[in-house]
Copies of this chain bind each other. A is one copy, B any other.
């Protein structure tokens, strides 16, 4: 895997206009709400936090399973939601799946809340 060039076609940087930038379109609202909904769950916030705090910014499911005290399928379920929302990446190496935060995704989300 050639050290990730992955220019992230547009995942993080372009999302929606900021909330306070005038009335929102229904489409923008739906797209943006999907991302906020993804982080609108305690378990998923802790997952992001755990991944970010882990060595090299990535962690496998086995690293996340124990501190959350949830079943492995449940953790995988939440990780999938975060990946689908464009907030996490998944990389498989050997038997393990490594999750990492999509670069710039959270700041981009934060920008939509700024004035």
Contact = CB atoms under 8 A, between A and B. Distances in A.
Interface of A: 19-24, 26, 29-30, 32-46, 48-50, 52-53, 67, 101, 106-107, 109-111, 113-115
Contacts of A52: 19-20
Nearest to A25: B46
A23 B50 contact: yes
State the main secondary structure of chain A at its contact with B.
helix
Given A22-B53, A29-B43, A33-B40, 11 more contacts: A20-B106, A23-B67, A24-B49, A26-B42, A32-B45, A33-B39, A33-B45, A36-B37, A36-B39, A110-B110, A110-B114
Contacts of A46: 23-24, 26, 29
